Amino acid sequence: MMDLLKYKLQLITIITVVLTFSSCKNDAQPKIVENRNNGSALGTSYSIIYFSNKKVNYQKEIDSVFKVINKSMSTYMPSSDISKINEGDSTLQVDHMFKEVFNLSKDINNKTNGYFDPTVGTLVNAWGFGPGEQIKLDSSKVDSLLEYVGFNKVQLTNKGTIKKASSNILFDFNAIAKGYSIDRLAVMLEKKGITNFLIEVGGEIFAKGENLKKQKKWVVGINDPEVEDRNNYKAAVKLKNVAMASSGNYRHFRVDPITKEKYVHTLDPKTGYTKNAKVLGATIITGNCAKADGYATSFMAMDLEDSKKIIEKDTTLQAYIIYLDNAGNVKEYITKGFKDLIVE
């Protein structure tokens, strides 16, 4: 009888331990909620996925980030800081965002030997890619406009104002501002305690943590530059805690009516002309999206061999460049680090 009672007590103890362990295990696994925000901003669309332990909606905060970016750097808003500076305001003190973009642009400008140059605003307008009036260009006109291009002709003063060598110099941060806006959105989410998210604005990406719904790294596609359909992907990559930006002739291009040659929207600040599309597409993966955006744009304008030198020197840059060789054949240049991220 005592043995039977002892056995029952042991059985109850085992069941209690199992139930307690099971309860602790369930409590240890937090609830995972997927949140999404989609919309339009900066002249393009955006999509943001982020995970939390409850349903949240940061639409107000997202709109606020885009609003301050536009107020600082939108060339399409006459009331923005950049528009006022372009109009000749030399007393305006720029905000910290403008300063960060200016300084990063200066760094990329130096490292690309001037191929990344946000002072191409006058040329952007002249070629019909900006908010200003498009004009008919010939070689003499292009040469005259080049006088107003050059990052060495502008200065961010200690007072936080912009000094220009000529009032005709116009800033255009569109080649880096979109990536920068993604970085600011990432900072906003991180301040909210969000550690797993994917931000996409106009095809540029910032991936943090993992896709908790699928329990794996974020997987995103890379557009095929030979196909105008942006839903057609050349490859897919898995990303974690990195940013990715692409530039290619599938976004904006012109076709010469006589030669039928295709020219990308990227301007060559050395010649003043839009670039012949030898490089079809450039995708860069690095730590922040503004840097990825700036270099992806630069490599569309630069000769491939010069781009390779920069990439090989800066180990933080991983690159995938699709280009045409001298015979017109499509070729690929891809770094090892980038190749390791491609989904087979």
CA 304 to chain centre: 21
DSSP 216: B
Joined together, the tokens standing for residue 333 give: 């240049």
The mean pLDDT of 77-106, rounded to a whole number, is: 97
Q: Which is more confidently placed, 147 or 265?
A: 147
> By mean pLDDT, which of 122-126, 129-133, 161-165, 208-212 is the weakest?
129-133
The mean pLDDT of 319-331, rounded to a whole number, is: 90
Joined together, the tokens standing for residue 73 give: 């750097």
The mean pLDDT of 314-318, rounded to a whole number, is: 97
Q: 244, 246, 273: which is closest to 261 by C-alpha?
A: 273
Q: 5 falls in which pLDDT band (50, 70, 90)?
A: very low
For domain 33-339, the CATH architecture is: Roll (3.10)
Residue 335: pLDDT over 70: yes
Q: 147, 144, 156: which is closest to 103 by C-alpha?
A: 156
Supply the pLDDT for residue 69.
Answer: 97
Q: What angle do CA 190, 193, 199 make, to 5 degrees?
A: 40
CA dihedral 271, 277, 281, 284 (to 10 degrees): -20
Instruction: Tell me the C-alpha distance between 201 and 108, whole Å.
Output: 21
The mean pLDDT of 29-50, rounded to a whole number, is: 94
- Please tell me whether residue 38 adopts helix, strand or coil conformation: strand
Instruction: Tell me the C-alpha distance between 320 and 285, whole Å.
Output: 9
Q: Which is more confidently placed, 82 or 144?
A: 82
- CB 119 within 8 Å of CB 150: yes
Supply the pLDDT for residue 186.
Answer: 98
Supply the pLDDT for residue 257.
Answer: 67
Q: 8 falls in which pLDDT band (50, 70, 90)?
A: very low
Domains in the chain: boundaries: 33-339
Residue 275: pLDDT over 90: no
Joined together, the tokens standing for residue 29 give: 């696994």
Supply the pLDDT for residue 16.
Answer: 46
Q: Residue 188, class by beta-carbon neighbours within 10 Å (0-12 exposed, 13-18 middle, 19+ buried)?
A: middle
Q: 14 falls in which pLDDT band (50, 70, 90)?
A: very low
Instruction: Tell me the C-alpha distance between 173 and 185, whole Å.
Output: 18
> By mean pLDDT, which of 94-98, 129-133, 198-202, 335-339 is the weakest?
129-133
Supply the pLDDT for residue 101.
Answer: 98
Supply the pLDDT for residue 2.
Answer: 46
Please name the amino acid found at residue 250: Y
> What are the angstrom distances between the C-alpha of 289 and each of 17, 86, 207, 280?
50, 25, 10, 20
Instruction: Tell me the C-alpha distance between 45 and 232, whole Å.
Output: 17
Supply the pLDDT for residue 230.
Answer: 64
